[in-house]
Each structure stands twice: as C-alpha cells, then as structure tokens.
Amino acid sequence: MESPLFKRHRRLRGSAAIRGLVRENELTPSHLIYPLFVDAGLSGRRPIEAMPGQDQLGLDALAAEARELAGLDIPAVLLFGLPSYKDERGSSAWARDGVVQQAIGRLKEANPEVLVVGDVCLCEYTSHGHCGLVRADGSVDNDASLPLLAEMSVSLAEAGCDVIAPSDMMDGRVGAIRLALDSAGFSETPILSYAAKFASAFYGPFREAAGSAPAFGDRRGYQMDPANARMAVDEVLTDVAEGADMVMVKPALPYLDVLRSVRDSVDVPVAAYNVSGEYSMLMAAAERGWLDGPRAIDETLTAIRRAGADMIITYHAKDWARRR
Ligand code: PBG
C-alpha cells in the first residue's frame, strides 16, 4: 500500500460523536456570570434599548430573576447599580441602603446559592460620571479615590457580596481594597480584578444601561490604550502581586490575543468580559437575519474559552443556557 501524500484531518470530523471526542474546549453554564443592572427608582423591568433582550431591573424584580438563573444553572451574577442620587464623591456607592447593597439581600433571599459579584467603581454614582474623584482641573485623582473604592468594597461585603470586582482602573486599588476587606473581617472574600481593562468604544450600550457616561472628557487617562498587549500583562502581574485572586481582560473579542498572553503569564483564574457592544452588534446582525444568532453566540463564547478564559461575563448567558 502506498503511503498517503497528505494527512487526512477530516478523519476526525466525520460524525458528531468523533467531533465530541476530540473537542478541546467546552462551555457549560458553570463558566458564566450574568450582569444585572439594578435601578433604585424602578419597579419591575425596563428594556435597555441598545441591548435587545436585556432589561434594567427594579429591586422587586430580583427574586424572580434569581430563580430563573438558578433554573438555568447559571451560578453567578455581576451587579451594577443605578442609585437614587449621585454626588461629586459617589457616596451612594457605599450607603448601607444603597441599591446594590439592597439587591444583594433580595437575590440571596430568593436563592442563597447564587454567587454575587459586585462591580466596584464610582462612575455610576458620581455626578460627573468618572470612575474616581475629580480634581478642579478635571483630572482624576488616583490616590484620593482609593479610600472611597475601599469603602465601597467593604460596604458590599457587609451586604453579603461574595466577590469584589474593582473596575475603576486606579493604580493601587487592589492592595487598598485587600487591606480594607481584611481589616473589616472579610479576609475570605476574593477579589476579581478588572486588571486589563481597555478604553473601548464597545462599552457604548453599557453607558445607557448603567447611566454612567462621563459628563466631560473620556476614560483614556486611566483605562488602557487598545494598542497595548504587553502592558496588559504588566497590569495583571501588578494586580496579582497586590492580592488579586482572579484577573479579568475586558473587552473580550477584540482582545483575544491579550487574553491568551494573560492566560500564559499567570496561574490565577482568568475572566473575560464579553461587553455590551460585543453583545449589541451580534444581536443587531442576528435581528436582521445577517447572522445565525445562536450559532454566532456559541462560536463567540467558545472562542473566548479557547483564548484562555476560565469564566465569561456575558449578556448572552441566559439565552445560551436556555438553548443548551
Ligand atoms: C464601570 C464599568 C463599565 C463597564 C463595566 N464596568 C463602563 C466603563 O468603564 O466605561 C462596561 C461593561 C460593558 O460594556 O458591558 N467602570
């Protein structure tokens, strides 16, 4: 018999059974975190126009939401708050009866098993919409912002938050938050740091969802330049050294190379945030019949896993889990 002149790769693609045997990456609901936008002034649900299929939720809508997620085996939520008031310092972020603090109670009451991740950032709570304290000249004051972020973190932990996830991109915040949590008796509460967070156009729809667009300027002074991949690894190593238990790359799809580098550079678990703009562009194309939505969603989430994500924060979570 003659030896073949080429390798027959297709031998391993002939049936669903053999494709299953050789599949390298798997996606299950246990890898997914579902973001929730909780509005203090809302009763029921309000659709987010720029994110078809996603709603802002009133506190009274959370119990049903928690039960629905449990039914779909989605283990975790990421909470964003639309507070009842905003000020220069973002003080509603650490109010005992703040919207997220109350939301945690409602969710846990309905499903004690749900893992609650709290987004720590001031942009939803400040009148100017920046992620930290703003000086008279409009610049963001890194060091003065740290105690406020730490206070917000402790307040969320006191309300029952399971994981603290700082997304503000101030330097030194992971260390400051770790110290504050430990001093307040929360040494067992893990930190998931938005370590490599880029100044991205793909956050567009989120700013409608969370009402957090900056009133002036932009976030390029603190979020990363999209051109930089090596620097992302440096950010990640810094956060791990300060005590981050898990790190995140955000956005996901335009940054899969960064995700891979980060995965190869650290041994802590890595999360990827499949952000609002990634969601909306796919949904818009699917709505017009330009893409097969379910297949594109499945391929997207699988690609993010393949690039190195242990867990994925995604607005597709419920939809994907329902079809499974
Ligand atoms: C808060 C925050 C943002 C997102 C998550 N946390 C917005 C921003 O940084 O401008 C974006 C999430 C998304 O687009 O889905 N800092």
Q: Where are the domains of the chain?
A: 28-323
pLDDT tens sequence across 300-321: 999 999 999 999 999 999 999 9
What's the whole-number mean pLDDT along residues 154-168? 98
What percentage of the chain reaches a pLDDT higher than 70?
Answer: 99
What's the whole-number mean pLDDT along residues 167-178? 96
What's the whole-number mean pLDDT along residues 203-209? 94
- Cα–Cα dist 116/104, whole Å: 7
Instruction: Give the model's pLDDT for residue 161.
Output: 98
Q: 212 pLDDT band (50/70/90 cuts)? A: confident
Find the farthest-apart pair of alpha carbons in the chain and give their distance in angstroms, rounded. 82
Instruction: Give the model's pLDDT for residue 4.
Output: 72
Catalytic residue flag (residue 318)? no
Checking if the pLDDT of 264 tops 70, the result is: yes
CB distance 76 to ligand 1 below 6 Å: no
**Please, which residues have CB within 8 angstroms of residue 236's CB and are 6 or more apart in sequence?**
195, 196, 247, 262, 265, 266
pLDDT tens sequence across 110-143: 999 999 999 999 999 999 999 999 999 999 999 9
Centre of ligand 1 from the C-alpha of residue 206, in Å: 6
Checking if the pLDDT of 82 tops 80, the result is: yes
DSSP string, 161-176: -SEEEE-S--TTHHHH
- Nearest ligand 1 atom to the CA of 214 is 10
CB distance 121 to ligand 1 below 6 Å: yes
Checking if the pLDDT of 293 tops 90, the result is: yes
According to DSSP, the β-strands at 140-141 and 133-134 are antiparallel
CB distance 167 to ligand 1 below 6 Å: yes
Centre of ligand 1 from the C-alpha of residue 2, in Å: 60
Predicted model pTM: 0.96
- Cα–Cα dist 168/132, whole Å: 7
Over the chain, what is the mean pLDDT?
Answer: 96
Given its phi and psi angles, is residue 260 left (phi above 0), alpha (psi -120 to 50 degrees) or beta? alpha
Q: 2 pLDDT band (50/70/90 cuts)? A: low
Q: Which of 86, 108, 250, 318 is catalytic?
A: 250
CB distance 193 to ligand 1 below 6 Å: no
Centre of ligand 1 from the C-alpha of residue 7, in Å: 46
Catalytic residue flag (residue 250)? yes
CB distance 200 to ligand 1 below 6 Å: no
Whose C-alpha lies nearest to ligand 1, atom 2? 167
- Nearest ligand 1 atom to the CA of 35 is 15
- Nearest ligand 1 atom to the CA of 119 is 6
Instruction: Give the model's pLDDT for residue 89.
Output: 95
Checking if the pLDDT of 25 tops 70, the result is: yes
Checking if the pLDDT of 223 tops 80, the result is: yes
Domain 28-323, CATH among 3.40.50.300, 3.30.70.120, 3.20.20.70, 3.40.50.720: 3.20.20.70
The neighbour count for residue 281, using CB atoms within 10 Å, is 15
Checking if the pLDDT of 149 tops 90, the result is: yes
- Nearest ligand 1 atom to the CA of 274 is 15
Checking if the pLDDT of 1 tops 70, the result is: no
Q: Could you tell me which of 94, 82, 221, 185 has the C-alpha nearest to residue 148?
A: 94
CB distance 131 to ligand 1 below 6 Å: yes
